[in-house]
Amino acid sequence: MAGKGSGEENRNISDTHATKVMPSYYVGIGASAGGLEAIEEFFKHAPIDSGMAFIVVQHLSPTHKSLMVELLSRNTEMPVLRAEDAMKVEPNTVYLIPPNHNLKIFHGALLLDEQEHDRGLNLPIDIFFKSLAEDQEDKAIAIVLSGTGSDGTQGIRTIKEKMGMVMAQDADSAKFDGMPKSAIATGMCDFIMAAETMPQQLMDFAKHPYASRSELSGTIRSNEDGLTRIFYKLREKTGVDFTFYKPSTLLRRIERRLLVNQMNTLDNYVQFLESSPAEVTTLHRELLIGVTNFFRDRKAFDILEEKYLPELIRQKDGRELRIWVAGCSTGEEAYSLAILCSECIEKLGLSVDVKIFATDVDRNAIMKAGNGTFSGSIAADIPQDLLAKYFYRQDDSYHITRKTREMVVFAQQNLIKDPPFTNMDLITCRNLLIYLQPVLQRKVMELFNFALRSEGILFLGASETIGEMNNYFEPLHNKWKLYRSRGKRNIGAVITDPVAMMQRREANHEHANVPPSIRPMSHHQMQDHERMLERLLQSISCDYLPLALVANEQLELKYIAGDSDGFFKLPSGRVQNNVTKMVVSELAIPLSTAGQSH
């Protein structure tokens, strides 16, 4: 929020309590209509010495005095306090949001901001959950209780991204099920249950012998066989190989699944995973969690809208503008770009067709994106004029307009293995590279270099860089990571599958004394390599090459891409697969000479 909350770091937050015991977990509880009953049931069953702190955020009338402190004090022996600015959060204490305020947390202290009712929809639960996630990370727990609308839905995404835990009241026990249902629909709730059973589940979670992340990480990291079996099971079911994703992120998400499922060892979890297809799906979804929202990093989108999109659109007057959103998640970024393009084209008075290709490895995310339906909480991220122009409201949801939806083509794509799009004017890939190891980061950047046209623009996340690709990309804005393609091609790099390359390198250790040319490649590696090559040739044959031939060192023809009419003839006699014997005579000598020189 603007105004009072903009100088959080400069607030005079007392450190006099620094030596006191900190809460083991910070539990944010969000509730709206019908929430009082659920909150009372929760605290009736909550132990007074859990070591946790509880911060309750309700939708309260701005004009009526709240009696929550008095009401809730009847249901618990813990101190119940109305939150005050700069109040340090302590364990075994309940804090309540005051009316007409939004609540945040910074370095374990509560911060109050007055609500600004002239700024449209206010979502106090989302606001608090997001700040809780940023401040406490894996010590954050979010609970969504009874209420109408969807407040809290965006916030729990951030909680999960930061390794926190999420609970939601089951729809049957909620007096109003809008908020719990919206949270449950994200697939990010670790536990779904009645309010009175939540405290015991919280205690089981907190008292797990591996609640200490450092201890658990060491245990998991040393069990290479168990991790290999997990990655194999994931690839078998989902087709995604997580082997070369950054291990720190993977280990933390796997360990959270052990805690949620109350498993004491990784071997126990592997056995559970191998017998539970539902858990494989859940783990896959959690490993791919990506928080996104409309116009994320608004200043970055402002720069794109004010300078670089108009530049691209002017260049394409009367033609098609091609944009690729890689790692699009549930579609917010793709639709944000569609809206900005529509606005720019209208302001410039030009005629430009826009085609946005939005891809993600997560099939469920792609399906949700394609529906173009979003919770009411997106109103906090989209200016009111754009919300009215590009969405229509139905019940508690917003739907993207048909015209805007038709600008975007959603498709499932494994960025690491599938061939890229070509001749792109703009590529956005934000907050995906940070999850990949350097070998895959380099590979992805080579794919983007191949996919962009000369002087096309690359838009990365604020924490990402182009690495060692300075020869291929010119920096345009260092803070918001905008780059321009220098137009240098390295097509050969696109053919190499880094996963197969790394696997082959490992296999070579077993044949260290064998000449490289005769070291065996596994059947799986051969399939991966050939599949990648086939898809690459299919993708470039129309855009770059009218005809492409692939032959081995013996000049035996292995693959044809494009129109070969007029280039081949079949001689009489025994059939030979040598390309020099099959092409027309004008090409036989040049091809033979080229093969010998290679």
The domain defined by 213-287 folds into: Chemotaxis Receptor Methyltransferase Cher; domain 1 (1.10.155)
Is pTM beyond 0.85 here? no
Q: Hunting for tokens 């605290």 — which residue is that?
A: 43
Map out the domains of the chain as residue ranges.
3-206, 213-287, 298-493, 546-598
Q: Is the pLDDT of residue 526 over 70?
A: no
- Rg (C-alpha) for the chain, rounded Å, is 28
Least confident of 353-367, 423-437, 560-574: 560-574
pLDDT at 213: 52
Sign of the torsion formed by the C-alpha atoms of 215, 219, 220 and 221: positive
Q: Is the pLDDT of residue 137 over 60?
A: yes
Q: Is the pLDDT of residue 514 over 50?
A: no
CATH top-level class of 3-206: alpha beta
β-strand partners of 96: 56, 82
Per-residue HEC secondary structure of 165-190 comes to EEEEECCCCCCCCHHHHHHHHCCCCC
pLDDT at 309: 93
Q: Is the pLDDT of residue 481 over 70?
A: yes
pLDDT at 468: 80
Spacing of C-alpha 370 from chain mean position: 16
Q: What mean pLDDT comes out for the span 59-67?
A: 73
pLDDT at 60: 79
Q: Which alpha helices (DSSP H) does 452-549 contain, by range?
A: 491-495, 498-508, 523-543
Amino acid identity of 101? H
pLDDT at 54: 97
Between the CA of residue 161 and those of 30, 134, 332, 352, what are the distances in Å?
18, 10, 17, 37
Q: Is the pLDDT of residue 210 over 50?
A: yes
Q: Is the pLDDT of residue 516 over 60?
A: no
Burial class (CB in 10 A: 0-12, 13-18, 19+), 430: buried
Q: Is the pLDDT of residue 503 over 70?
A: no
pLDDT at 581: 77
Amino acid identity of 213? R
Q: What mean pLDDT comes out for the span 271-299?
A: 85
Between the CA of residue 385 and those of 120, 265, 333, 389, what are the distances in Å?
11, 53, 18, 6
Q: What is d(CA 293, CA 430) in angstroms, rounded to the nearest whole number? A: 12
Least confident of 33-37, 339-343, 526-530, 577-581: 526-530
Q: Is the pLDDT of residue 531 over 80?
A: no
The rounded mean pLDDT for the chain is: 80
Residue pair 251/214 in contact (Cβ under 8 Å)? The answer is no
The domain defined by 298-493 folds into: Rossmann fold (3.40.50)
pLDDT at 446: 87
Residue pair 301/336 in contact (Cβ under 8 Å)? The answer is yes
Residue pair 323/428 in contact (Cβ under 8 Å)? The answer is yes
pLDDT at 336: 94
Model confidence at 94, pLDDT cuts 50, 70, 90, reads very high
Tell me if domain 3-206 and domain 298-493 are identical in fold: yes
Q: What is d(CA 131, CA 105) in angstroms, rounded to the nearest whole number? A: 6
Q: What is d(CA 5, CA 104) in angstroms, rounded to the nearest whole number? A: 9
Percentage of the chain lying above the pLDDT 90 cut? 32
Higher-scoring residue by pLDDT: 491, 263: 263
Burial class (CB in 10 A: 0-12, 13-18, 19+), 162: buried
Residue pair 112/96 in contact (Cβ under 8 Å)? The answer is no
Q: What mean pLDDT comes out for the span 222-249?
A: 81
Phi, psi angle pair for 245, to nearest 5°? -80, 160
Q: What mean pLDDT comes out for the span 454-474?
A: 86
